[in-house]
Amino acid sequence: MDKGLLIVLSGPSGVGKGTVCAALRKRLPNLVYSVSATTRKPRAGEVDGVNYFFKSHDEFKHMIEHNELLEWAQYVSNFYGTPRTFVEETLASGKDVILEIEVQGAMKVKQQFDEGIFIFLMPPSLDELRSRIVGRGTEALDQVNQRMLTAVDEIKLLDQYDYAVVNDQVELACDRIISILQAEHCRKERIMPKIQQWIDEVSK
Ligand code: 5GP
């Protein structure tokens, strides 16, 4: 069976990765979402095991030491990481997996899965990014400024990605990502093993 595609959706905080990812999952029900582990406290309405696996610092450290995380990163003052086994097993079963993670983690995934599809979600402008972070209302002012500084550093990494998708409107951003995934599924490298089988069968 073909392995699934590993899709890494990344970009600066506040660009709308969570919203775009949720809308994408509605439109692509077979796309499997990797739930991250974090030491951040749950926000109102967030559910353990659905939005994140909420962990203590000791639990997170244990996961790192036992190589249970495919990647992990410190972001502002919290740790975030992708549970390894779930991703590997889901890909092996032929299903596509999406990671919605920040850029340091995305770069660590790239070192291990160069065949992954790395999509950078862009804000339409920096002003728009700031107003989205402020508008979310979950961050104190110093944290907003910290996130803006981080965002500028993150945008510098665009060159490492395969695709840049502007999140001007959520559904339009989803349309673009769906087109990317359709094209990636049509890559000749994915079709080649099957064609080789056909060739072998006919030339027997
Ligand atoms: P938030 O605290 O707003 O939920 O997430 C903060 C940042 O951490 C976001 O950019 C989010 O995409 C990123 N993030 C969430 N899960 C992971 C993960 O497993 N690994 C990494 N590296 N970043 C993550």
* Count: domains in the chain: 1
Distance of CA 117 to the CA centre of its chain: 10
Q: What is the CATH number of the domain that holds 120?
A: 3.40.50.300
Q: Which residue is closest in CA terms to ligand 1's atom 15?
A: 101
Rounded to whole angstroms, the Cα distance separating 55 from 87 reads 19
Q: pLDDT of 49-85, one tens digit each?
A: 999 999 999 999 999 999 999 999 998 789 999 999 9
CB of 75 sitting under 6 A from ligand 1: yes
pLDDT for res 203: 93
Angle among Cα 44, 45, 48 to the nearest 5 degrees reads 105
The full DSSP string for 101-138 is --HHHHHHHHHH-TTSEEEEEE-S-HHHHHHHHHHH--
Report if residue 29 sits inside a domain.
yes
Q: pLDDT of 86-137, one tens digit each?
A: 999 999 999 999 999 999 999 999 999 989 999 999 999 989 988 888 876 7
CB 54 within 8 A of CB 41: yes
Q: Which atom of ligand 1 is nearest to the CA of 108?
A: 22
pLDDT for res 2: 83
Domain ranges, residue 177: 6-34+96-203
In this predicted structure, the answer to whether residue 18 has a pLDDT above a threshold of 90 is: yes
Report if residue 27 sits inside a domain.
yes
What does pTM read for this prediction? Answer: 0.91
Q: pLDDT of 139-190, one tens digit each?
A: 788 888 888 888 888 899 999 999 999 999 999 999 999 999 999 999 998 8
Q: Which residue is closest in CA terms to ligand 1's atom 21?
A: 101
H-run or E-run covering 21: helix 17-27
Report if residue 80 sits inside a domain.
no
Q: Which atom of ligand 1 is nearest to the CA of 138?
A: 3
Q: Which residue is closest in CA terms to ligand 1's atom 19?
A: 81
Rounded to whole angstroms, the Cα distance separating 79 from 75 reads 6
Ligand 1 centroid to residue 140 C-alpha, Å: 18
Report if residue 146 sits inside a domain.
yes
Angle among Cα 84, 85, 91 to the nearest 5 degrees reads 95
Strand-pairing partners, residue 72, are: 81
pLDDT for res 146: 85
pLDDT for res 1: 64
Length of the chain (residues): 204
pLDDT for res 150: 82
Ligand 1 centroid to residue 50 C-alpha, Å: 14
Report if residue 141 sits inside a domain.
yes
User: Average model confidence (pLDDT) for the chain?
Assistant: 94
Q: Which residue is closest in CA terms to ligand 1's atom 18?
A: 81
